[in-house]
């Protein structure tokens, strides 16, 4: 019996690299174009799960499984934006400086028959207290662009993080433990 085919519903190169760590090569990439605006008073956990589910459903395929994910940086009940400009990235870093925050990484796997499997990874992260010079230096790197919460843990920001409790890969964008469990439950051959 042939292994199931997988579509990755993400244009993120980080998610492609992470799924490759499990020995999975997607048959194709199908970035889901959905409205990612949080609903009024939507909690971060529910928002992450809804985004992963909607991305998977938007890329549904009658002959392949669709894997989708979403990563949310939350400070309390507040969902931090993806930083598209330096002012937003600065606001996020100033808010996170010296504080603990939560990174929620949801994964959804949609089977061709419409069966939906979902998992959620919750990771606690704390930045050191950041000086204005450290924030300026990080902003100058540009790696914050398009990143939830204005930082990329897999880059220079890792040197500013005092501790992490949970899934490093989840903070990068795809929690591998949870993703592996979903894929195995759907019959993907993973060692």
Of 159, 148, 145, give the one whose Cα is nearest residue 123: 148
**What tokens does 156 get?**
């220079």
Catalytic choice (17, 33, 35, 70): 70
70 is catalytic: yes
HEC profile of the chain: CCCCCEEECCCCHHHHHHHHCCCCCCCEECCCCCCCCCCCCCCHHHHHHHHHHHHHHHCCCCCCEEEEEEEEEEECCEECCECCCHHHHHHHHHHHCCCEEEEEEEEEEECCCCCEEEEEEEEEEEECCCCHHHHHHHHHHCCCCCCECCCCCCCHHHHHEEEEECCHHHHHCCCHHHHHHHHHHCCCCCC
Instruction: Quote the radius of gyration of the chain (alpha carbons, Å).
Output: 17
Report, as residue numbers or ranges, the catalytic residues.
70
């Amino acid at each position: 019996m042939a292994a199931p085919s997988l579509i990755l519903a993400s244009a993120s190169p980080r998610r492609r690299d992470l799924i490759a760590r499990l020995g999975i090569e997607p048959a194709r990439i199908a970035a889901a174009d959905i409205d990612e605006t949080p609903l009024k008073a939507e909690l971060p956990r529910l928002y992450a799960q809804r985004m992963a589910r909607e991305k998977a459903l938007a890329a549904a395929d009658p002959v392949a499984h669709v894997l989708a994910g979403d990563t949310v940086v939350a400070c309390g009940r507040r969902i931090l934006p993806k930083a598209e400009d330096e002012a937003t990235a600065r606001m996020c870093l100033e808010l996170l400086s010296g504080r603990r925050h939560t990174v929620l990484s949801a994964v959804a796997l949609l089977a061709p028959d419409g069966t939906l499997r979902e998992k959620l990874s919750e990771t606690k992260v704390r930045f050191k207290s950041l000086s204005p010079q450290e924030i300026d230096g990080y902003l100058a790197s540009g790696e914050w662009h398009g990143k939830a919460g204005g930082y990329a843990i897999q880059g220079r920001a890792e040197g500013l993080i005092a501790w992490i409790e949970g899934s490093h890969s989840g903070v990068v964008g795809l929690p591998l433990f949870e993703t592996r469990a979903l894929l195995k439950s759907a019959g993907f051959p993973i060692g």
